Amino acid sequence: MKFKLEKIRSDASFREFFRLHKGEKTSVIVKARKEKFKNLILYSAVNKFFRKNRVYAPKLISKHFEEGLMEIEDLGKETLLNHMKKSRNKLNFYKKCIDIIITIQKIRPIKKIKYSSNKYFMLESHSLKNLHKESDLFFDWYLKGVLKKKFSNKYKKIIRKELNKLYKKIFFKNNFIVHRDFHISNIMLKNKRLGVIDTQDVILGNPMYDVASLIDDIRLKVPNHIKNKTFKYYLKNCLIKNKKESDLKNDFDILSIQRNLKILGIFYRLWKRDGKPKYLKYLPYTWKMIELRIKNKVFKDLKKVLFKAVNKKNRKKIFK
């Protein structure tokens, strides 16, 4: 039998991926350059947990955690992002993704996941502190990059204060399993079946977080009518009791803004610190998503100060 190792995509994490060809069969070798526990042990544990609960995720084939390696099932080469760029029926695939999110949200209640015979890791809660930790990436990287120090410090205090008010207005509790990075680059299409990858960051959080990650994903430009229909599909099919559309929509908008501010920070850092300029191309559309959601009246004060701090002229500085 012939063996061949082929390097494949890398992502924004400290992982490398290789496709192992064993005759006609293939598998994926994952190599962790840092954080072996999170990148390998937790990843394999969450995948197993998801599979047990009817969510298709890569199966562990062999583990070599001490060497920072593991072998997992190959979910193929086609991400949903690549497929949807060519697809005319995008709404159908968004609905299938919503179905996956709802399946994940049916897993209740759970606070820990088993990762060895008698060891568990406790699921963290998407607390106020965690929401700020994520959106602080916007201040620590993006805002510092486009404004002088004295102005970035000044606006950080004001904007962070407004975000704190908004985070406290989030209605639904953190009692749902949240993938935390649920977008169409993390969904694989294999034999007409959708599989979920990059599962290691699961958390107990708000039901709208993954919905916002999917619908306002900045990697693919989608008409607003498809976004709206996808949101309505979630509303119709989700299992949340005594739900009010206004509560769900406010949580969705707040978490979309929070996530996209985080993305501005992360993608700026990937360019500036990690030498990955390909992520810069997503920044203009990230701002468009922020502009779309910030129309909600709940953002009146935030909108004023955010757009004053980072006007359209400042946004272009990065590309000069």
If asked whether residues 108 and 18 sit together in one domain, one would say: no
Residue 240 has pLDDT above 90, yes or no: no
Supply the pLDDT for residue 202. 95
* Share above pLDDT 70 across residues of the chain, in percent, rounded to a whole number: 98
Of the two residues 99 and 89, the one the predictor is more confident about is 99
Return contacts of 154-161, CB within 8 angstroms, 24+ apart: 155/305, 155/308, 155/309, 158/305, 158/309, 159/302, 159/305, 159/306, 159/309, 160/132, 160/135, 160/136
**Token digits of residue 226:** 């498809």
Supply the pLDDT for residue 38. 73
- In angstroms, the CA 73 to CA 68 distance is 17
CATH number of the domain that residue 8 is part of:
3.30.200.20
The alpha carbon of 298 is separated from its chain's Cα centroid by a whole number of angstroms, namely: 24
Number of domains in the chain: 2
* pLDDT tens track for 192-201: 899 999 999 9
Residue 209 has pLDDT above 80, yes or no: yes
If asked whether residues 157 and 66 sit together in one domain, one would say: no
* pLDDT tens track for 28-43: 999 987 777 777 899 9
Supply the pLDDT for residue 11. 61
If asked whether residues 110 and 67 sit together in one domain, one would say: no
If asked whether residues 61 and 138 sit together in one domain, one would say: no
Please give the residue range of the domain that contains residue 52.
Answer: 3-73
If asked whether residues 119 and 244 sit together in one domain, one would say: yes
